[in-house]
Homo-oligomer: A and B are copies of this chain.
Amino acid sequence: MKLTPAVERYVLHWGEMGTRWGTNRTVAQIQALLYLSPRPLRADEIVDLLSVARSNVSTSIRELQAYGLVKMTHVLGDRRDYFESLHDVWELFRVIIAQRKQRELNPTLSMLRKCAEDVEHEDQTDPVTKERIRNMLEFVETTSEWYEKIQSVPTSTLKKLMRLGAGITKFVK
């Protein structure tokens, strides 16, 4: 079995992008492959299609499952595990947003809160610096809340919202 050229390009590109998004190449490639595949795939098929080590596939799938991006399925009379990705792009979006919040925003929030508190007792810190820290904290807090609220917005609403784009601003005067 072999990938078609278009699918191969997609998978390779996704792999590269994955490295920018906090995971490694293989994890992202597998996700792309499963996303495009019309049927669930087995680990050994993935090994074949992507030419990666079995151990690598095993740990990568584990990571994808932990993210909630990939689920395991089975076939009657077949012991082997089959895997498939979420197929709805808006669902994918939500999951990825949640991941990013957890890995980037949350630690930054903690840091900023600690900083904001610490500088209260630091006389040698310039008031301007203190204000900058407060501003950044406020910004990250707002962003964080926004991420959270997005989680519970239904897909259909999300779609409409995104398509509105900057048009939405006419509601906030």
Contact = CB atoms under 8 A, between A and B. Distances in A.
Interface of A: 4-7, 9-10, 13, 17, 20, 22, 35-38, 87, 89-90, 93, 103-104, 107-108, 111-112, 114-115, 118-119, 122, 124-129, 132-133, 135-136, 138-139, 142-143, 145-146, 149-150, 152-153, 157, 160-169, 171-172
B160 A10 contact: no
Contact of A166 (B13, B103, B112, B153): B153
User: Taking the full assembly, how many copies of this chain does it contain?
Assistant: 2
A7 B89 contact: no
A126 B38 contact: yes
A93 B139 contact: yes
A10 B162 contact: no
Given A129-B7, A129-B38, A166 B143 contact: no
A135 B86 CA distance: 13
B139 A6 contact: no
A38 B149 CA distance: 35
Given A10-B133, A89-B138, A149-B165, 13 more contacts: A4-B119, A6-B118, A6-B122, A6-B125, A10-B111, A20-B22, A20-B104, A37-B129, A38-B127, A142-B162, A142-B163, A149-B166, A164-B172
A166 B142 contact: no
Nearest to A159: B142
Contact of A122 (B4, B89, B118, B145): B4
Please provide the 8 A-B residue pairs with the shortest distance between their CB atoms, ordered closest to farther. Answer: A149-B166, A38-B128, A6-B118, A38-B126, A149-B165, A89-B139, A13-B111, A160-B172
